[in-house]
Structure 1
Amino acid sequence: MKLLSKKLFECGVLQTANLHVLLEDSSCSMQSKACLYSTCDQCKDKHVLMRTENMQQTVQWQQWTVVKEKRTLLNGKEKEVTFTKKTTECGTLESLSDKFLTLFRQYKIHAFNMDNQFLYFRQTKQNLKSNEVIIHIDFAQNYVCKLKEEIQSTHFGASQNQIKLHTGMYTTLALNTVSFCGVSDCLKHDPSSIWAFMLPVLKEIKMKCPNIDTAHFFSDGPCSQYRQKHNFYLFTKHCHDLGFTSATWNFFEAGHGKGAPDGIGSSVKQAADRQVKYGQDISCSYDFIYVLNKANTSIKMYEINKSDIEKIDTAIPQKLKPVAGTMKLHQVIMEQDPNTISYRDISCFCRYGCEHAEHKLRQHIFKKPTQQLQDRSVTQSVRKNISSPHAEVEDCQPTAADIPCVKHFSNSLDPLMALKRLAKCDSFGLLHHECEALNPYIRLIQGQRRSLSSDKLMVNTFASGFTPKDLITSQTMFAAKVRMDGDCLPGCGSVFAFGKDDHSDLLRLLIIHELALHADFYTKEENLMKGYQKETSGSNELVHAYAMYSDKFIPGVKLNVRKIFEEETLGLLKPKSFMGIWQIFALSSVLRMQITSVYPQLGNPLVRRHLHRMIMPRVKSTSHIAFIMWTSTRSKSPYNWLPNHFVPLLPFR
């Protein structure tokens, strides 16, 4: 349009080449949809003022044209390609004027849509409520992997591996603005990959701000990605599954979708390139995230595997009914029925009975597939799996009905894989970053009352002999057999959570996750004092004692509690490594139940004074108490006795 208006202005046909001025001259109001859509009774026949002399004069002008061209490939076959280029056209001023007027009618609609979508975006941010979140997303250009040193042949062809980046930001009143970047080795840009990227983000939002029930999505509108029936279906399905009561998806006008996500994409790619210059290798999505987290990026990074995308892809029903007018719509609205959406040509705050003329809603109903009816129980359970065991506020505790009992991770992340990932962390800061990245995948577990008979557990006769006589319980307690491979404490946690010790990898991961994210809590005396029923000498007696009991403590070196705590937590990344008192505290919070740390009447009495005690979780959700005893596979020497094993103490029934 600019090229045409400029040429007509040079020829004296138009009084100005400024398209905005031309729009104002040809309509009653720039804010009226009816005016710019040419349906207003007062200005629908109003045209741009044009000089009509010498209209048969021959002129040349430039314009952008979509061109199709056949090209011959190396194998001799022909292929038709489509591309856009600037071409020179020749014709009369009359034909140029007619072309301009035809395109100007379309441009008026384009200009109104552009202004309206930008205005809606600004007003949504300005009027954001405490229960709302704004999510602005876009795909960044693929990142080409780089190595610090490369041979020449890696610069050509398939040797250059690429990584897909899905960037965005979300804004809430509580958290302000959070930038994020999803990374994947799978290069698909379809709705399945969009929602594989979005689900961890939405779960994190619900985890951090449980009161949020309204989501406003903003994106550009390519029909192969966001603006198509499959994305509309997944949008309403997953928003319902995650417990949102209201949600909208708003599209910027074509050619005007650039925004913060593009800046985030540029930022992470530049940061990755800098790290390559500093000597790092980036050959896959995991390397990309690892390198940026190590550089302490403020952008939240997370990885999506191909299996995540395929899982969502299989959940999309075949032969979904197309949405009429897909290419014109700019707002999709979630309805109470997960198989129904409402939509309109431009975004508007009005829900029903729009007071802005012609912003009317239309509805589209997706055909209910049989598979949906079969999976209803699964989708209902998804809502319950969005909380985190790391809620700091006690009045936000979930009920027992909200606690998932079977699945604790998405298919893309099993405990062993996560532990191998964390094992690459060479600093506590990096471990903290990696554990934060796991938050969307972590699910609550709940410790429960267990017994030998109901859970079919065997008695450890040797360990039962260590049970102290001053242990007061309502029932006789027996030591239960658990694994003796270094994972005995996670095995005890697995018994209380699942009734057997075969989830020790999961419990080890959750203990590390708890310690890494809440180091401040576990290194403060007042928190360690909770449940401790003995008098102390003051001056941080417990926190200093627990640091001295650590195998990271070096006699003669000035005591640094935080440093010892961090080194001990990093030491847990080694498979089958032994645990101690700090890990029992973390296990109490993971199980969300009180633990009685039972220490035999052996060895140093001061050590027993510190370790034989009640331990309170950060957030408690049950009145049941777990009994875990320090024991040994060696002799019962009363003087130089040292524990090397943990067992759960359980009643027979």
Structure 2
Amino acid sequence: LCINPTLQCMKRQCAECGIHKLYLLPEETGDAETDETVKWEKFEKVEIKVKGNKTTKKLVLVKKESKVSDLFSHFLQLLKSFPFHQHRATWQNNQFQELSSNLPLNHCICVHDFSENYRCTELKQLQSAYFQKTEVSVHVTIIHRHALPDIDGVESTEQNPEIITEHFFVISDDQQHDQYFVHEVRKTISEYLASISYPVDTMHEFTDGCAAQYKSRHCFGDINNSSRDFGFKHFTRNYFETAHAKGPQDAAGGLLKRQADLAVLRGQAHIQNARDLYEFAVSNLTRTKSVCRRRLFRFLDFIPREGNLSFKPISNIRSVHQVIVDNSSPHIIIRELSCFCEKCSLQIYHECVNVQRIGQVQHHEMVKETNNTFDVEEDDEEVPLSEMVSKGQV
């Protein structure tokens, strides 16, 4: 890369840098029959058999035995996209840290994540029950907001900001983790903030890039209605880079499930369904001793799916890492990376000071589909193999 890399450098579109600057030894590029053969491994999509005598493709680690040149050829292909992947990961995490450390008044941050389903167990159970365990959906949200005197006992001002962190859990029997479930979670959080009289002019959401839950054309269409549905003047959804979305939200979900399992094993609780898990959490886990001020639990018995949240496709949706919604515009604004610089904070996006590193914004109109079916397009689910390579693995 160049000494001061730009977005073009990261995308390997710069003539001054690139993998052509990496010179290999003759024995690393030769293809003669006498060249050494090496054993190595790479991820490939392989067809495997599943239930019902069907086959599906799965990404697995495949052992290879080939010439050294084949190994280095594959290595160079990975290096083509790895810098931009690493740049996106670092940039998105830095933007989150910057925003949470300098959160403006009347702004709120929500970090969303579906925890792995909780599998209900019993201290004494029939043998057949082992194969028929009830599963419970657990959605975790980390809320960062300014303190309120009546709720938190301290006031937050511009001169002396006091940021409160809360863990917000939504528990449900519903097993379909889609845009409708997420919409109800966002609605529940909005109702909570309204109940404590917290004024939210701008809501910032951070999520992973799961297509069915947060990052698809249908999800974009849902958040396009954030101003109408929840009354926000401005709204942003920001996506962490692939394989770089781990954080306190994962630990919070793990804590809930771990404490529930321990209570069952000790004979202190009997958890057979989502309602039981919710009541256990409310009775035992609302108090905290960490940086989290409080844990809040909500139970959703039913997820309505009558509304039409199906929208027409958006090209190159996997490259989008920020979606912006303004109540004064019918379009959404998308861009490759997030930014919360002074200009962007004032909604003057065309004067962003980081445009050389994140690119220009694009305006997009969300158009509803006539049918109300939810099909994740292939472009939504496909993740380049090189994005699964993290620093230190190559």
1:180 corresponding residue in structure 2: 168
Secondary structure of 1:181's partner?
Answer: strand
Structure 2: runs of 5+ lacking an equivalent: 148-162, 288-294, 371-394
1:23 corresponding residue in structure 2: none
2:59 corresponding residue in structure 1: 84
Describe how 1:398-477 pairs up with structure 2 within 5 A.
none
* TM superposition shift of 1:338: 6.6
> Is the contact made by 2:136 and 2:174 (CA closer than 8 Å) also made in structure 1?
yes
1:117 corresponding residue in structure 2: 92
State the distance in 2 between where 1:123 and 1:103 align: 30
CA displacement 1:394-440 (0-9 Å, x = unmatched): xxxxxxxxxxxxxxxxxxxxxxxxxxxxxxxxxxxxxxxxxxxxxxx
Query: Compared with structure 1, are the counterparts of its residues 95 and 180 closer, same or farther at alpha carbon in structure 2 (3 Å cutoff)?
Result: same
> Is the contact made by 1:321 and 1:367 (CA closer than 8 Å) also made in structure 2?
yes
1:517 corresponding residue in structure 2: none
Equivalent position to 1:292, from 268, 281, 284: 281
* TM superposition shift of 1:36: 1.4
> Is the contact made by 2:18 and 2:80 (CA closer than 8 Å) also made in structure 1?
no
Q: CA RMSD in A?
A: 2.3
> Is the contact made by 1:117 and 1:251 (CA closer than 8 Å) also made in structure 2?
yes
For 1:149, the aligned partner's letter is K
Secondary structure of 1:316's partner?
Answer: coil
> Is the contact made by 1:230 and 1:316 (CA closer than 8 Å) also made in structure 2?
no
Query: Compared with structure 1, are the counterparts of its residues 361 and 149 closer, same or farther at alpha carbon in structure 2 (3 Å cutoff)?
Result: same
* TM superposition shift of 1:316: 2.1
* TM superposition shift of 1:296: 4.0
State the distance in 2 between where 1:58 and 1:254 align: 35
Task: Please say if 1:64 is aligned against 2:64.
Answer: no
CA displacement 1:488-507 (0-9 Å, x = unmatched): xxxxxxxxxxxxxxxxxxxx
Task: Please say if 1:161 is aligned against 2:134.
Answer: yes
Equivalent position to 2:308, from 301, 304, 316: 316
> Is the contact made by 1:217 and 1:248 (CA closer than 8 Å) also made in structure 2?
yes
* TM superposition shift of 1:261: 0.9
* TM superposition shift of 1:337: 5.0
* TM superposition shift of 1:244: 0.9
Structure 1: runs of 5+ lacking an equivalent: 1-25, 371-653
1:219 corresponding residue in structure 2: 207
State the identity %.
24
1:35 corresponding residue in structure 2: 9
Q: Which has the higher contact order (CA 8 A, sep 6+)?
A: 2
1:362 corresponding residue in structure 2: 362
Query: Compared with structure 1, are the counterparts of its residues 185 and 98 closer, same or farther at alpha carbon in structure 2 (3 Å cutoff)?
Result: same
1:353 corresponding residue in structure 2: 351
Query: Compared with structure 1, are the counterparts of its residues 317 and 179 closer, same or farther at alpha carbon in structure 2 (3 Å cutoff)?
Result: closer
For 1:164, the aligned partner's letter is S
Describe how 1:170-569 pairs up with structure 2 within 5 A.
170-174=143-147, 176-279=164-267, 280-298=269-287, 299-306=295-302, 309-310=303-304, 313-318=305-310, 320-336=311-327, 339-349=330-340, 350=344, 351-355=349-353, 356-357=355-356, 359-367=359-367
1:407 corresponding residue in structure 2: none
Secondary structure of 2:26's partner?
Answer: coil
State the distance in 2 between where 1:78 and 1:36 align: 44
Q: TM-score, normalising length from structure 1?
A: 0.49
* TM superposition shift of 1:218: 0.5
Equivalent position to 2:21, from 47, 51, 72: 47
2:109 corresponding residue in structure 1: 134
* TM superposition shift of 1:251: 0.5
For 1:291, the aligned partner's letter is F
State the distance in 2 between where 1:61 and 1:331 align: 41
Q: Aligned residue pairs: how many?
A: 335
Equivalent position to 2:72, from 97, 102, 118: 97
CA displacement 1:66-115 (0-9 Å, x = unmatched): 33324275xxx631122232222122222222221111111112111111
Larger radius of gyration: 1
* TM superposition shift of 1:240: 3.2
State the distance in 2 between where 1:134 and 1:305 align: 26
* TM superposition shift of 1:28: 2.5
Q: TM-score, normalising length from structure 2?
A: 0.79
* TM superposition shift of 1:339: 4.2
> Is the contact made by 1:135 and 1:168 (CA closer than 8 Å) also made in structure 2?
yes
State the distance in 2 between where 1:296 and 1:184 align: 17
